[in-house]
Amino acid sequence: MRRSAKIGAGVAGLAIVAGGVHAVPGLLDHGDAAAGQRLGGGAREPAATGKADAAVPSDARPFTLVGTGDIIPYPSIIERSALDAGGEGHDFRKILAGVKPVVSAADLAICHHEIPYGEPGGPFTGYPTFKAPQELADALKDTGYDSCSTASNHTLDAGFPGLARTLDHLDRVGVKHTGSARSAAEAQTPALLSAGGAKIAQLSYTYGTNGIPVPEGKPWSVNLIDQQRIIADARAARAAGANVVVLSVHWGTEWQTAPDKQQLELAQALTASRTAGEPDIDLILGTHNHVPQPYEKLNGTWVVYGMGDQVASFVPPEMKRGNMGSIPRFTFTPSTGRPDRWDVTKAEFLTQYSDMAPPFRVVCAACAASDTGLSAGKRAEYAAVDQQVTEAVLSRRAGAQGLTHATR
């Protein structure tokens, strides 16, 4: 399926500053710039007359959105990408080829870009401070990603220069990004995405940066979780013209399948947040935990507590589940009787696996489990992964809420 065109930064109509997201007055066709201002901790709602170009167009149609988990190129993965490149640079495309059919078929695809890029030629490093080759950006574009969240506990691993390099290369290949910024000016002009006639705003925040301080004088460089700020930013995105608001959030406790207290409380508060009776946030996609976590519909909004890692290479048997993840896929349909809204009318998930057997590849586990071209042993391995991920995803009874397991 050919993905809908994106709206360029020049007409995006959003601005992220140290205090939150503001509407760019140029998008407010009704002239009410105040409707786009940050709402002081969420105490006020934006004026209804300030809504900018949010009405559903006559050609509106359903669209699909997929998300995937943390991309963490450990040294072994970087070595594999060098081998796949034939000795000249790095090539991550083969590593991601197994999930390309799922990602590229969606109208919108969102990744989580966990780590920064190192300087050209390296050195490239792993835990605890990551630096990856810039060719990863090319592979993300080739796989079909439209946008990536970039706020994580590793955003500042290579300092502000690494943050800037990462965004430079995502720009170079044409993948949008949110959650970090190179300048206050850039933070004022991120892009909206577009699909099915809807304008989709993606927001991104992290619980912290592993003790690395946000660069002095650059408070806008990475977005940190703050409940009231997130709500205010979502409301401002609506006021700037967004029909759908997707929140990418880096949170939770590593290696824990069950969502922790922060996740449960924040998810409850964010999904309960309303403006004029309508939800401020339409979907929450969680990252950071390394392992698949459950999905749940809260206050009518789907929450993916944790997708698990998409690209990882954990070796110890007790950490093997860190190589497993889920791929949520949601179908949004123009809402009947609500002229500026799209509703989730289909909720699905697929399972994926970073298969460390040479050559290292990321595969759709459910898809591969039925591939008769594989050996019986390999199919059984993928089926076991599919079962384990499925159990985690459904552990808060999302199946009874309408979530279904997809295999392609």
For range 308-328, the mean pLDDT? 95
Helix (H) or strand (E) holding 383: helix 376-393
63-71 and 324-334 as β-strands: parallel, antiparallel, unpaired?
Answer: antiparallel
309-311 and 198-206 as β-strands: parallel, antiparallel, unpaired?
Answer: unpaired
* pLDDT score at 191: 53
Fold assignment, 9-405: Purple Acid Phosphatase; chain A, domain 2 (3.60.21)
* Structure-token match 């946030």, residue found: 281
Please check the confidence at residue 394 and state whether its pLDDT lies above 60.
Answer: yes
- For residue range 28-47, list pLDDT tens digits in order: 222 222 223 222 333 333 33
> pTM higher than 0.85, yes or no?
yes
* pLDDT score at 34: 28
Residue 266's φ and ψ, nearest 5 degrees, are -70, -40
- For residue range 169-179, list pLDDT tens digits in order: 999 999 999 99
Mean pLDDT value across the chain: 87
278-279 and 274-275 as β-strands: parallel, antiparallel, unpaired?
Answer: antiparallel
- For residue range 203-234, list pLDDT tens digits in order: 999 999 999 999 999 999 999 999 999 999 99
- Cβ atoms within 10 Å of 344's Cβ, excluding its own: 18
Mutual orientation of helices 135-143 and 159-173 as an angle, nearest 10°? 40
* pLDDT score at 338: 86
CA distance 187 to 296: 32
The answer to which of 189-193, 278-282, 366-370 has the lowest mean pLDDT is 189-193
* pLDDT score at 185: 74
CA distance 165 to 168: 5
Identify the three-state secondary structure at position 131: strand
CA distance 113 to 150: 5
Cis bond before residue 123 (omega within 30° of 0) = yes
In Å, how far from its chain's centre is CA 47? 29
* pLDDT score at 187: 72
Please check the confidence at residue 76 and state whether its pLDDT lies above 50.
Answer: yes
How sure is the predictor about 26, in pLDDT bands with cuts at 50, 70 and 90? very low
Q: Where are the domains of the chain?
A: 9-405
